[in-house]
Amino acid sequence: AQSVSQHNHHVILSEAASLELGCNYSYGGTVNLFWYVQYPGQHLQLLLKYFSGDPLVKGIKGFEAEFIKSKFSFNLRKPSVQWSDTAEYFCAVHTDKLIFGTGTRLQVFP
Amino acid sequence: GAGVSQSPSNKVTEKGKDVELRCDPISGHTALYWYRQSLGQGLEFLIYFQGNSAPDKSGLPSDRFSAERTGGSVSTLTIQRTQQEDSAVYLCASSFRLGATNEKLFFGSGTQLSVL
């Protein structure tokens, strides 16, 4: 069965620090990969997605993610975080249905 | 409607009672998902619909949980004989077409269920 693992449950950073959130999935076939974000008090919303082509995808607010097929990974990165990036981040994989990881809570301090 | 609408936004019930949660997807969206969000558990897949049919019900935690969708639109998630461990936020999401290359899920604000 497909599954998604997010290794970091809680990440605390200062503004301007670099961010990398890990995501690994288990599924042998073709997958579509997503990162969703939930800002405090708001709905879940799409941050970025990978379907095919360039494995380095760019999303909103300066986020990017790299699909590494050999490692079954889709890590999220941002070179310099801001206080407003404080949120919960969910990796998701879509095969026949969309499955989410357990989420990573990011806190950014000014 | 403008977005995915869920009702009620909050529901407090007594253990053993039945509850019904409602989801109105975005008009024209054929795919509809139910998830459960618990502290420390992330987003747990429950069920999805393509039109009125549910190809995958494997995420439903027990036979106390059921869901239906009528007219390719509104969906209801029913929990019978609620237990305290059912307390969570139940999220609904819809998308234009399941598996479409540009599929993007739009989430509702959820129903916070508290079982006392």
Residue B108 inside a domain? The answer is no
Residue B35 in any domain: the answer is: yes
Q: Cβ–Cβ of A46/B105 closer than 8 Å? A: yes
Q: Which residues of A touch B105 (CB under 8 A)?
A: 36, 44, 46, 98
Q: Inspect the interface and report whether the beta carbons of A44 and B107 lie closer than 8 Å.
A: yes
Distance CA A15, CA A81 (A): 5
Preceding peptide of B61 cis, ω within 30°: no
Flag whether residue B25 sits within 8 Å of chain A, measured between CB atoms: no
User: How many domains are there within chain A?
Assistant: 1
* DSSP-based three-state secondary structure for A76: strand
- B107 lies in a domain? no
Residues A21-57: tens digit of each pLDDT: 999 999 878 888 999 999 998 989 999 999 888 999 9
Question: Percent of chain B scored above 90 by pLDDT?
Answer: 72
Tell me the three state secondary structure of residue B112.
strand
The number of folded domains in chain B is: 1
Is there a domain that residue B54 lies in?
A: yes
Please give the residue range of the domain that contains residue B25. 5-97
User: Which amino acid appears at position B76 of this protein?
Assistant: T
Beta-bridge partner residues of A20? A77
Residue type, B3: G
- The partner residue sitting opposite B105, judged by closest CB among A6, A52, A98, is A98
DSSP A100: E
- pLDDT the model gives residue A90: 96
User: Is residue B111 domain-resident?
Assistant: no
Contacts of A52 in chain B (CB under 8 A): 101
Query: Does any CB of chain B come closer than 8 Å to the CB of residue A45?
Result: yes
For residues A65-82, average pLDDT = 96
Closest Cβ–Cβ partner in B43, B45, B107 for A97 = B45
- In b/e form, how buried is each residue of A6-38, taking b as 16+ CB within 10 angstroms? beeeebebeeeeebebebbbeeeeebbbbbbbb
A43 interfaces chain B, CB cutoff of 8 Å: yes
Average pLDDT value for residue range A81-93: 96
Which residue's structure tokens are 């990881």? A101
Q: Does any CB of chain B come closer than 8 Å to the CB of residue A3?
A: no
B48: in domain: yes
CB–CB contact A97 B56 (8 Å): yes
DSSP bridge pairs for B47? B34
* pLDDT tens digits, one per residue of B35-78: 999 876 788 999 999 889 998 888 999 999 999 999 889 999 99
Closest CA to B51 of B31, B33, B34: B31
Q: By the 8 A CB rule, do B10 and B20 touch?
A: no
Place B102 in a pLDDT band, splitting at 50, 70 and 90: low
Whether residue A15 contacts residue A28, with contact meaning beta carbons closer than 8 Å, is answered with: no
Q: Tell me, what CATH number does A40's domain have?
A: 2.60.40.10
Residues in chain A with CB shorter than 8 Å from the CB of B109 are 43
Residue reference for tokens 């237990």? B83
pLDDT at A19: 97
Is pLDDT above 90 for A74? Answer: yes
Residue B21: name the closest of B70, B73, B78, B62 by CA.
B78
Residue B113 domain-assigned (yes or no): no
Closest Cβ–Cβ partner in B3, B44, B56 for A96 = B56
CATH number at residue B88: 2.60.40.10
A74 touches chain B (CB under 8 A): no
Q: Tell me the residue range of the domain where A42 lies.
A: 3-109
